[in-house]
Every structure is written in C-alpha cells, then in structure tokens.
Amino acid sequence: MENKLHGQVAIVTGAGSGIGAGCAREMAKAGATVVINYPTTAGSAMAADVVASIAANGGMAIAYQCDVSKEDQVMNMFADVIKQFGTVDILVNNAGLQKDAPFTEMTLEQWNFVLSVNLTGQFLCAREAIREFLRRGVNGKSKSAGKIICMSSVHEVIPWAGHANYAASKGGVHLLMKTIAQEYAPKKIRINSIAPGAIQTPINHDAWDTAAHLQNLLKLIPQKRIGQVEDIGKAAVWLASDDADYVNGTTLFVDGGMTLYPGFEDNG
C-alpha cells in the first residue's frame, strides 16, 4: 500500500480489539505511527498483541491505557503522546460499548455508562485533538491541520428497539461530528464519521456465533456477507488521507447496504 499517512501520528481509541485494531493495523500499513488506546489493565495483553502484529509488519505502534470517559486521563494521554511523538495528526474516535435493555427496564447507570463512553468519550478526545491541531496548524505532512474520524453506526439513522442508550449515543455522535466539522473547517481540520453496518467483532458476537444466528443477521444485509474490520480500516485510511481532502462533515456508511431498507428487497 502507498504510504498515504507517512510520518503522521494517529491515536485510535479502543484499539485493543475489533474495528479499532483493524483501523490501527491499516493506518500503520499506510505509514502512520499508531497509539493503541485501551481502557483498563485487563485489556493490556490484547493491546500488546496489536502492537506486536503491527511491529511484525514493519509498522510502529505503542499501547496506551486511558479510559476515554475520564477527562483527566484523556488530557494526560494527549499530553504524553505529544511529548513522545511531537504532535497528533489523526484521531480515530472508536471506543464504544453496549449495555442493552428494554427501555422501561433500562437503569440510569446503563444509560449513563453508554453515553459516557460512546458520546462523552468522543467529545473529550476530539476536544484535545482539535486543541493540538489548532496549536500546530498545517505542517506539510498533510493538506489538513488534522483529521478526526468518529466511529458512528448505522444506528445513527436506524432506530434500534432495546438499545435506546446506544442509538441515542450514535445519534449524538452524528451532530457532534457535523457541528465540530462546521466549526473547524476554516482552520483546515477535517472531521467525518464512519457508520459501520454489522462487522464481525466481539461487540456483536451473539449475532454471528452460530450458523443460524449468522443467517438471521444476513437477512438485514443486502450484500449477504458480514463485514470485516479491514472494510472499516481501509475506509478510515482513505478518510484520513489527502485523497479525501475535500470530504468534511459527512458520514460514510460502510454497511453492505444495511441502510437500503432490506425488508423491501423482494417486494418490487
């Protein structure tokens, strides 16, 4: 692959598994130095595996523990990365989780937990990233002063019964992304979202763990295959590269057609 991100520093949150790890690997292949963020000591071995797999392919990565919902930890992560590598060029705001419940049984704790990681975490990381982009300005490594990719979901537009906290968090990401893209476009900062459909990761293990579950899931995907983390990682590299220099404030759906109302497929 061409070194489209050569010499750039990328922080990928929640990169010890799934889509975050996929984005980190693809960005490292494209020449970026990647910070593999993970939330707790329990995740350190998985993050170390991602670092090792990147190094084995000749890439450069470090692991960094930080809970993105905690302001002091996020500020420390950005300060430490800037101290070590000089700056941050790319943020992939990927960390996210689910705590599902029927709406009338959803506890305030479940609601707050999901919103604190999926939405407040994106706010805290984007704010630190933009502060650094504004401080540094355009530096010759890219046409932009900085790029942010927010990991949204098809559930920024598709309602999802039993997942009100998750759907609300992704709906929030949608307008957070658009608002800060509008606010900082004049400063040559580009901010976009990726909305994955069903990607085969630990978060949705129950949807693909048996042949029957997978068949059921494929009914929702016109392309009739479950997505892989590389599908998202490659889209993230493109969005972060100068090939996407005129792309700003938009959501790229990478979903095998999940948002094409698959229920209407055989109803023409």
Reply yes or no on whether 38 is catalytic. no
Structure tokens at 21: 């790890």
**Binding residue for ligand NAD, selected from 4, 11, 16, 208, defined by CB under 6 A:** 16
User: Considering only residues 76, 139, 204, 223, which one is a binding residue for ligand NAD as defined by CB under 6 A?
Assistant: 204
Element (H, E) at 146: strand 146-151
Q: How many residues bind ligand NAD (CB under 6 A)?
A: 29
Stretch that binds ligand NAD, among 51-59, 140-148, 177-185, 202-210 (CB under 6 A): 202-210
Q: Which among 1-9, 182-190, 193-201, 237-245 is the span making contact with ligand NAD, rule CB under 6 A?
A: 193-201
- Rule CB under 6 A: choose which of 31, 59, 146, 196 binds ligand NAD: 196
Helix (H) or strand (E) holding 147: strand 146-151
Site for ligand NAD in 68-127 (CB under 6 A): 68-69, 94-97, 117, 121
* DSSP tally for the chain: helices H, then strands E: 9, 7
Residue 153 interacting with ligand NAD (CB under 6 A): yes
CB 152 within 8 A of CB 126: no
Nearer to ligand NAD, 120 or 241 (CB): 120
Give the whole-angstrom CA distance, residue 197 versus residue 226: 8
> Measured between alpha carbons, how far is 103 from 136 in angstroms, rounded to an integer?
45
Q: Which backbone phi and psi does 253 adopt, to 5 degrees?
A: -85, 120
Which one among 5, 10, 13, 167 touches ligand NAD, defined by CB under 6 A? 13
Selecting among 64, 166, 184, 261, the annotated active-site residue is 166
Q: Does 142 bind ligand NAD (CB under 6 A)?
A: no
Task: Please give the Cα distance from 248 to 245 (Å, whole number).
Answer: 8
Residue 256 binds ligand NAD (CB under 6 A): no
Q: What are the CB-based long-range contacts (under 8 Å, 24+) for 78-85?
A: 78/11, 78/125, 78/128, 78/129, 78/131, 78/132, 81/9, 81/11, 81/35, 82/132, 85/9, 85/33
Min dist CB 93 to ligand NAD, Å, is 8
Q: Pick the piece of the chain touching ligand NAD (CB under 6 A) from 10-18, 106-114, 235-243, 244-252.
A: 10-18
Min dist. Cβ of residue 85 to ligand NAD (A): 19
Tokens of 155: 């559930």
Q: Is 156 in the site for ligand NAD (CB under 6 A)?
A: no
Helix-helix angle 71-85:121-136, to 10 degrees: 30
Shorter beta-carbon distance to ligand NAD: residue 11 or 145:
11
Using rule CB under 6 A, residue 138 touches ligand NAD: no
If we measure between CA atoms, which residue out of 229, 259, 207 comes closest to residue 94?
Answer: 229
Which residues does the annotation mark as catalytic? 166
Binding site for ligand NAD (CB under 6 A): 13-14, 16-20, 37-39, 43, 67-69, 94-97, 117, 121, 151, 153, 196, 198-199, 201-204
